[in-house]
Amino acid sequence: MKVLELTDIKKTFWKNKQCFSAVDGVSFSIEKGECVGLVGESGCGKSTVARMITRLEKTDSGEIFVNGENVTRCKGKALRDMYRHIQMVFQNPVDSFNPRLKLGSSIGEVLANFGTPRGEIKQKVERLLVQVGLEPAMAMRYPHEVSGGQCQRAAIARAIAIAPELLICDEATSALDVSVQAQIMELLFRLRKETQMSYLFISHDLALVQSICDRVLVMHRGRIVEAGDTREVIEHAAHPYTRLLLASVFPLHPDPQWKIPDVPTAQGEEGDACRFWQRCPSCGELCRTERPSLRKLNERHDVACHFAE
């Protein structure tokens, strides 16, 4: 069963009397218990997609379905019900907490809103904190009184408090050292086994995505340019942008051969052209006149490039 389905969603922002298309027709779906990774260029619209799903941003066009129900424009009680199914860890954890509330109160608030009896809240909050590797005493701190990674873990505790069906993690481990990150991944993995929780996992860490996600979507400038089974996409990356990403990962042990890839920065508007053409090593005539759409390479692999094979 599909927990989430997006069909051709779009979002434009206005700035300086100019319109700017942040999300330009994105479609995908997530099955129950599935973990889907979303990677891509900084500013390509990943957080905007997440914010549209959680209705923090209006959707200009396209539809969003949660458990088969159209929630694109739902309000009031229907919207509240949706938050029982979907929770999100925000990219910037410090700003996602009320600065005047202690962390424990913020997490307790979510529990109370979704029906946990008053008497049980304190204990539950402490258990959640321990689960994400924090001392129970952290409940008494304000968001600006903890480290970046501690705040991020408190945000994860808040998001899993009511055991949602879909957890959206927007760069949810970017402030954690690799060991604490691994512990959080073990926790999420366990929740997935125990409660069939699904994940939309937005991250810049390709190795991490590769180690935990079933499927991966690669976004570039408002569109999905490559999608498929994680292994397939990482091992047989077909889109030049995905290849550039993979080539840009800093190796752990400096390899004298390895250099920062030298790619030109794109300039101006592309009009109808492929939005990657200025930086693409395999750009041809067609790329400058026609924008490629997502097509099937094989059963488990889609790509939006004229020349990929």
Partner 1 sequence: MASILEIEQLNVSYNGIPALQNVGLQAEKGEILGIVGESGSGKSTLLKAVIGLLGDNGRAESGRVVFEGTDLLRVPAKALRGIRGARLGMIFQNPGTSFNPIRKIGDQFLEAMRSHGKTDRTAAIQQILEMLARLGLRDGERILYSYPFELSGGMNQRVAIALAMILRPQLLLADEPTSALDVTVQAQCVKEMMDLRDSLGTTILLVTHNMGVVSYMADKVAVMYAGRIVEYGAKADVLNCPRHPYTRALIEAIPQIGGGAPKGIQGQPSAAKGTPDGCDFSSRCRFSDNICAFERPVMNDCGQGHAVFCHKCFSEVLHEGVRVNGY
Ligand X SMILES: Nc1ncnc2c1ncn2[C@@H]1O[C@H](COP(=O)(O)OP(=O)(O)OP(=O)(O)O)[C@@H](O)[C@H]1O
Query: With respect to partner 1, which residue has the nearer C-beta, 63 or 133?
Result: 133
Is the backbone of residue 274 left (phi > 0), alpha (psi -120 to 50) or beta?
A: beta
Write the DSSP symbol of residue 173: T
* Residue 39 sits in the site that holds partner 1 (CB under 8 A): yes
* Residue 211 sits in the site that holds partner 1 (CB under 8 A): yes
Quote the crossing angle between the two packed helices 103-113 and 148-160, to the nearest 10°: 10
DSSP 230-250: HHHHHHT--SHHHHHHHHTSP
Q: Residue 238, Cβ neighbours under 10 Å: how many?
A: 22
Query: With respect to ligand X, which residue has the nearer C-beta, 27 or 116?
Result: 27
* Residue 266 sits in the site that holds partner 1 (CB under 8 A): yes
The pattern of x and - marking residues 223 through 242 that bind partner 1 according to CB under 8 A reads -----------x--------
Q: Minimum distance from CB of 28 to partner 1 (Å)?
A: 19
Distance between CA 115 and CA 249 in Å, rounded?
A: 45
Q: How many residues bind partner 1 (CB under 8 A)?
A: 67
Query: With respect to ligand X, which residue has the nearer C-beta, 13 or 258?
Result: 13
Distance between CA 128 and CA 32 in Å, rounded?
A: 23
**Residue closest to ligand X (Cβ):** 149
Q: With CB cut-offs between 5 and 8 Å by kind, which of ligand X, Mg ion, partner 1, none does residue 95 bind?
A: partner 1
Q: With CB cut-offs between 5 and 8 Å by kind, which of ligand X, Mg ion, partner 1, none does residue 80 bind?
A: none
Q: Minimum distance from CB of 89 to partner 1 (Å)?
A: 13
Q: Minimum distance from CB of 254 to partner 1 (Å)?
A: 6
Nearest alpha carbon to residue 206 among 241, 156, 157: 241
Query: With respect to partner 1, which residue has the nearer C-beta, 40 or 164?
Result: 40
Show the beta-strand stretches assigned E in the chain.
Answer: 2-15, 18-31, 35-40, 61-66, 69-70, 86-89, 166-170, 198-202, 215-220, 223-229, 295-298, 301-303
The binding site for ligand X (CB under 6 A) comprises 13, 15, 22, 42-48, 91, 145-150, 175
CA distances 48 to 14, 166, 222, 229, Å, are 14, 17, 9, 23
Binding interface with partner 1 (CB under 8 A): 13, 15-16, 18, 20, 39-43, 46-48, 91-92, 94-95, 130, 133, 135, 144-150, 153, 171, 174-183, 185-186, 189, 204-208, 210-212, 234, 244-246, 248-254, 260-261, 263, 265-267
